[in-house]
Amino acid sequence: MSEAAVQLRDLRKVFRRDSMEIVALENIHLEVQRGDFVCLMGPSGSGKSTLLNLVAGIDRPTSGELHVLGEEISRLSESQLAAWRNRHIGFVFQTFNLIPVLTAFENVELPLLLTKLSSKERREHVEMALKLVGLADRMAHYPRQLSGGQEQRVAIARAIVADPTLVLADEPTGDLDAHSADEVLKILQQLNREFGKTVLLVTHDLRAARRATVRHYLDKGLLQDAPPLEMA
Amino acid sequence: MLPFKYNWRSMRVRWVSTLMTVVGIGLTVSVFLAMMSLVRGLESTFTETGYPLNLLLLRQGGTAESTSVLSRQNYEVVRYLPGIAPGQDGEPLVSPEIIVLINHPKKDGGTTNISIRGLTPRGLEIRPTVRMIEGRFFRGGLREVIVSRKVKERFQGMDLGERVRFGKGNWTVVGVFDAGQTAYGSEVWTDVDELGTDFDRPIYSSIVLRAADEAAIPRLKEAIAADRWLRLKVQRETEYWASQTRTAMPVKALGYFIAIVMAVGSAFAAMNTMYAAVAHRTREIATLRTVGFRRRTIVLSFLLESALLGLAGGLVGCLVALPLHGLATGTTNFVTFSEVAFNFRITPRLLLQALAFAAVMGAAGGLFPARRAASMKIVEALREL
């Protein structure tokens, strides 16, 4: 299990606002092994989410190498990237981002609509994913009928339903109370331990960081040695 | 492909703007349908007039019966040409006819020209779509006329037994005929010789004859064209009336102009709605793309949604316009300058055209918003509220 899932070399990301250049990431060298539960910490604006977005293939680096699951994804076209994301990436957002007009079942089913699975197979997959996050009895509920914690669990089910290799989570507990946050973290840990998923988590939450097997620290766009958890 | 329920439910969630757009497109479609059903009604009045085996003879170069002049000798030569079908009395089915225009008051105010057609009883026999529905056929020498049902309904003094004044005196209405949706439905008929005398016209306007069969038509045409003395233009009766559909051109042009102007307005309304929909769902779109949906899938989904808006509007427009079907109206025939009565006609084909027009209008409105939705950068869109 020591094969690298993510390999970043001399990665740089610069945002341009009018005539100003804002360096979000500079000289990033990072390797994430398959099966790791990696936590990426750092203050607001340090570039954590930018790094996660680059790994997820929803943003492109300004320069540097970006190998994810053996593929140099910055060279893929938009439509190749979309197909790649669907196959390999499960993304969990801080704000859940469920489609409000679709039920929990329909939300979780979305990534499977891009596969060749039959409707029966899709149903089986969706039911299994929702069962895993403990929401088998909420399949017909719309997001507005769910609590924040339940919404995030549906979002996790959506992220894992297509059986991705890499689960990326951007502050998944940021909008949740302590109890719900704990449940979400347990699920992510279960995905890592029992199902061998590589998890890359961006967080401020020390409880989340404690569950990680590897921790990295970003500050002002630079990757630094992770301080002890008590100081983070 | 994104599930259809996503679009349908999204439209329902923002039902106020959906409804406004649907009503806007519906009004445009109803105006389009009204104008086009008017054109269809007018055109079909001409295209449905005439019997396939009938030939109509005008002077050479003539375009309308009302401006054509044929001599009585022409009639005498033509009636004995071989290939003409015999009538019930065994005589050739040939009807020499005169058209004159009179200005007559309408029931709803104003006056307009009516075509008075002078003909013989064979003129009725030659036109199988025309049938008497009240009273009797006119008799020569008694200053009698028969009127079409539409003339009776639309003009003053045209009821059975009433006297109508034109030419050199009064004429009595002795019968009413039904000519279906044909151009004869806008005419008054009387005896050809009596009409000629009253208007000092020792000539005919046209000659209508019935060919014995289809094979006789080219022979008759050839014989008439070859006779230099006759100098007549011969054409099928159906062709003659079909050529008058150009009467519908001004209405058609106006109809298209109004429909296009309103369609542009409605497309902007649809565009506004779809821009709002895209703005409202920016983060949803970004999420869908993160999950793996491609740009073109998003474009297609939003185009489908706006086309659906258009279709819903189209349905509303059809329902609003449908009661117009069958409504009688009239206009001036720009070839003969006489009144032509006709009915609004909303055909299934026209309804389909209206629905397609509405869907295109909706989709056109959705094009730019859909492109905007798909061209957004995922990362930026995810930050939107």
- CB of A117 less than 8 A from some CB of B: no
Quick one: average pLDDT of B247-274?
80
Q: Is A84 among the domain residues?
A: yes
Q: How confident is the model at residue A1 (pLDDT cuts 50, 70, 90)?
A: very low
The DSSP output letter for B204 is: B
Residues 6+ apart with CB under 8 A from B340: B42, B45, B183, B186, B247, B330, B331, B332, B333
* Six token digits for residue B190: 């009387």
The pLDDT of residue B341: 74
Q: How confident is the model at residue A229 (pLDDT cuts 50, 70, 90)?
A: low
Which of B6, B290, B295 has its CB closest to that of A99? B6
Percent of chain A with pLDDT over 70: 97
Closest chain A residue to B380, measured at CA: A59
* Residues B304 and B1 sit within 8 Å (Cβ to Cβ): no
Amino acid (one-letter) located at B52: P
Summarize pLDDT for A57-115 with one digit per residue, the tens. 999 999 999 999 999 999 999 999 999 999 999 999 999 999 999 999 999 999 999 99
- CB of A91 less than 8 A from some CB of B: yes
Mutate: best of A16, A53, A77, A101, partner B, most B CBs <10 A: A101
What is the pLDDT of chain B when averaged over all its residues? Answer: 87
First-to-final CA distance of chain A: 29
Q: How far is residue A224's CA from residue A217's CA, in Å, rounded to a whole number?
A: 5
Is residue A97 within a helix (H) or strand (E), and if so which, with residue range?
A: none
Q: Is A2 among the domain residues?
A: no
- CB of A100 less than 8 A from some CB of B: yes
C-alpha distance from residue B359 to each of B29, B121, B275, B366 (Å): 10, 53, 17, 10
Q: How confident is the model at residue B186 (pLDDT cuts 50, 70, 90)?
A: confident
Residue A232 has pLDDT above 60, yes or no: no
* Six token digits for residue B383: 């930050």
Residue A171 has pLDDT above 80, yes or no: yes
Q: How far is residue B328's CA from residue B367's CA, in Å, rounded to a whole number?
A: 40
What are the percentages of helix, strand and coil residues in chain A, rounded to 5? 40, 30, 35
Chain B residues close to A93, C-beta within 8 Å: 287, 382
Is residue B379 within a helix (H) or strand (E), and if so which, with residue range?
A: helix B378-383
Residue B337 has pLDDT above 90, yes or no: no
Q: What is the dihedral of CA B107, B109, B115, B116, to 10 degrees?
A: 50
Q: Is A121 among the domain residues?
A: yes
Residue B245 has pLDDT above 80, yes or no: no
Q: Please tell me the pTM assigned to this model.
A: 0.73
- CB of B287 less than 8 A from some CB of A: yes
* Residues A154 and A104 sit within 8 Å (Cβ to Cβ): yes
Q: How confident is the model at residue B183 (pLDDT cuts 50, 70, 90)?
A: confident
Which residues are B59's β-sheet partners?
Answer: B232
Closest chain B residue to A108, measured at CA: B291
The pLDDT of residue B261: 86
Quick one: average pLDDT of B364-385?
84
What is the pLDDT of chain A when averaged over all its residues? Answer: 92
Summarize pLDDT for B70-99 with one digit per residue, the tens. 988 889 889 889 999 998 888 999 999 999
Angle of helix A78-88 relative to helix B282-291, nearest 10 degrees, comes to 70
The DSSP output letter for B91 is: S
Pair type for strands A222-224 and A63-68: unpaired
- CB of B47 less than 8 A from some CB of A: no
Q: How far is residue A209's CA from residue A203's CA, in Å, rounded to a whole number?
A: 7
Quick one: average pLDDT of A202-211?
87
Residue A231 has pLDDT above 60, yes or no: no
Q: How far is residue B250's CA from residue B260's CA, in Å, rounded to a whole number?
A: 15
- CB of B300 less than 8 A from some CB of A: no
First-to-final CA distance of chain B: 25
* Six token digits for residue A27: 């000289």
The DSSP output letter for A115 is: S
Closest CA–CA distance from residue B256 to any residue of chain A (Å)? 39
The pLDDT of residue B139: 93
Closest chain B residue to A161, measured at CA: B291
Verify whether the Cβ–Cβ distance B294 to A111 is below 8 Å: no
The pLDDT of residue A190: 94
Q: What is the DSSP string of A166-179?
A: EEEEESTTTTS-HH
- CB of B1 less than 8 A from some CB of A: yes
* Residues A51 and A25 sit within 8 Å (Cβ to Cβ): yes
Which of B13, B284, B292 has its CB closest to that of A114? B292
Q: Is A179 among the domain residues?
A: yes
| Number of independent structural domains in chain A | 1
Q: How confident is the model at residue B244 (pLDDT cuts 50, 70, 90)?
A: confident
The pLDDT of residue B334: 64
- CB of B215 less than 8 A from some CB of A: no
Verify whether the Cβ–Cβ distance A82 to B284 is below 8 Å: no
Chain A residues close to B286, C-beta within 8 Å: 97
- CB of A115 less than 8 A from some CB of B: no
Verify whether the Cβ–Cβ distance A93 to B295 is below 8 Å: no
Of A203, A173, A156, give the one whose Cα is nearest residue A48.
A203
The DSSP output letter for B344 is: -
Chain A residues close to B377, C-beta within 8 Å: 59
- CATH number of the domain that residue A178 is part of: 3.40.50.300
- CB of B280 less than 8 A from some CB of A: no
Which residues are A92's β-sheet partners?
Answer: A169
- CB of B382 less than 8 A from some CB of A: yes
Residue B332 has pLDDT above 80, yes or no: no
Residue B43 has pLDDT above 70, yes or no: yes
Quick one: average pLDDT of B208-235?
89
Percent of chain B with pLDDT over 90: 36
Burial per residue of A172-182, b for 16 or more beta-carbon CB atoms within 10 angstroms, e otherwise: bbbbbeeebbb
Q: Which value does ipTM take for this structure?
A: 0.93
* Residues B75 and B193 sit within 8 Å (Cβ to Cβ): no
Q: Strand order of the sheet with strand A71-72?
A: A20-33, A4-17, A63-68, A71-72
Chain A residues close to B293, C-beta within 8 Å: 82, 110, 114
The pLDDT of residue A230: 61
- CB of B385 less than 8 A from some CB of A: no
Which of A87, A106, A114 has its CB closest to that of B293? A114
Domain ranges of chain B: 4-47+247-383, 61-230
Provide the residue range defining the domain that includes A110.
Answer: 34-62+78-224
List the 52-81 stretch of A: residues with Cβ below 8 A of B.
Answer: 53, 56, 58-59, 78-79
* Residues A226 and A215 sit within 8 Å (Cβ to Cβ): yes
Quick one: average pLDDT of B225-232?
84
The DSSP output letter for B322 is: G
Mutate: best of B6, B287, B288, partner A, most A CBs <10 A: B287
Residue of higher predicted confidence among B309 and B328: B309
C-alpha distance from residue B171 to each of A92, B117, B176, B190, B203 (Å): 92, 14, 14, 9, 21
Of A145, A62, A56, A137, give the one whose Cα is nearest residue A93.
A56
Closest chain A residue to B287, measured at CA: A97
Verify whether the Cβ–Cβ distance A91 to B291 is below 8 Å: yes
Closest chain B residue to A55, measured at CA: B290
Count how many residues are written for chain A.
232
Residue with tokens 């509405």: B358
Percent of chain B with pLDDT over 70: 97
Verify whether the Cβ–Cβ distance B288 to A110 is below 8 Å: yes
Pair type for strands B94-105 and B206-210: antiparallel
Q: How confident is the model at residue B335 (pLDDT cuts 50, 70, 90)?
A: low
Residue B315 has pLDDT above 70, yes or no: yes
Chain B residues close to A59, C-beta within 8 Å: 377-379
The pLDDT of residue A35: 94
